[in-house]
Amino acid sequence: MLEGIGITKYFGGLAALKEVDFSLKEGEILGLIGPNGAGKSTLFNIINGFIRPTSGVVRFGGIELTRLKPHQICMLGIGRTFQMVKPFLDCTALENVMMGAIFGKGNGIDLKEARDLALQCLDLVGLMNKKEVLARNLNIVERKFVEIARALATRPKIVLLDEPLAGLNPMEIMDACKLVKRIRDEFNVTVFWVEHVMRAIMGTAERVIVLHYGEKIAEGKPSEISRDRRVVEAYLGEEAMPG
Ligand SMILES: Nc1ncnc2c1ncn2[C@@H]1O[C@H](COP(=O)(O)OP(=O)(O)O)[C@@H](O)[C@H]1O
Ligand SMILES: [Mg+2]
């Protein structure tokens, strides 16, 4: 459904991604993990057209994405969330999600339809009771869920989730993992999911890619990945760092 071949990205002399290949199959939940600075968000930024790769191509159903702009890629059916969420602070939760419905895939939606769709998405993420609350008065966890609802309201075929679990407590993480499964099962959306913490993604993703310093060091089922020597070393190396 979505594939990247030989994705390389240099920021000055720093290779944030080196010859990374990936493919995403329709209907799967694919995890992308790796220590901080591994290049995970950079890969998402390339897929959704925020930045161009130094070399390599990304194709979605045969269409080359690397020449398109983010809004065009969104309209083709790739939604995303950002690690640093930035809702429209002076709009309500509902209005934020309606924005996704109005400017997302296909356009041609009237305000009533956009509102209905946005309510459905807010319901999915459990924020119906906050729909009239201004985004500036939502806490960080609620803002993250608004962000997910806004991405779903664009009616994507694929959603890219960039660290949706960061900052959540263990209970919230369990709920969020269930939510990711429901996004796939009830909304028929294929999920590409970036997470820094390995454990959380392991129970939900069906396949995992591991990045380390911009290189793909492992790929496979969660059970295989968690036993992979290079993966364990990459994470232990990080935990051994001060702080
Ligand atoms: N726009 C940018 N300009 C310069 N360096 C960047 C930029 N974006 C990311 N980087 C660098 O690229 C590397 C990978 O970053 P990132 O993709 O954000 O990692 P991750 O999401 O895995 O934590 C880091 O060293 C980061 O500092
Ligand atoms: Mg990141």
What's the half-sphere exposure (Cβ side, CA atoms, 13 Å) at 127? 31
Contact 100, 156 (CB under 8 A): no
Ligand nearest to C-alpha 46: 1
- Whose Cα sits closest to atom 1 in ligand 1? 11
| Residue-by-residue DSSP string for 2-57 | EEEEEEEEEETTEEEEEEEEEEE-TT-EEEEE-STTSSHHHHHHHHTTSS--SEEE
pLDDT tops 70 at residue 205 = yes
In whole angstroms, give the CA distance from residue 124 to residue 239: 35
CATH code for the part of the protein at 1-77+156-167+175-236: 3.40.50.300
- Ligand 1, CB within 6 Å, residue ranges: 11, 14, 16, 34, 36-42
pTM: 0.93
- Whose Cα sits closest to atom 27 in ligand 1? 37
Atom of ligand 1 nearest to the CA of 36: 23
Summarised one tens digit per residue, pLDDT across range 143-199 is 999 999 999 999 999 999 999 988 889 899 999 999 999 999 999 999 999 998 777
Return the bridge partners of 177, or none. none
Contact 96, 152 (CB under 8 A): no
DSSP secondary structure code for residue 157 in this structure: S
Summarised one tens digit per residue, pLDDT across range 69-96 is 999 999 999 999 999 999 999 999 999 9
Q: Which are the contacts of 157, defined by CB distance < 8 A and separation ≥ 6?
A: 1, 26, 77, 78, 189, 190
Ligand nearest to C-alpha 83: 2
Q: Where in the chain is CATH 3.40.50.300?
A: 1-77+156-167+175-236
C-alpha 196 to ligand 2 mean position (Å): 8
Q: Ligand 1: which of 42, 43, 212 to mutate, most ligand atoms within 8 Å of CB?
A: 42
Lowest mean pLDDT among 16-20, 161-165, 223-227: 223-227
- In the numeric block, which tokens belong to residue 198? 């390995």
Q: What is the mean predicted confidence (pLDDT) over 42-57?
A: 97
What's the confidence (pLDDT) of residue 233?
Answer: 84
Q: For residue 162, count CB atoms less than 10 angstroms from its CB and return exposed for 0-12, middle for 13-18, buried for 19 or more.
A: buried
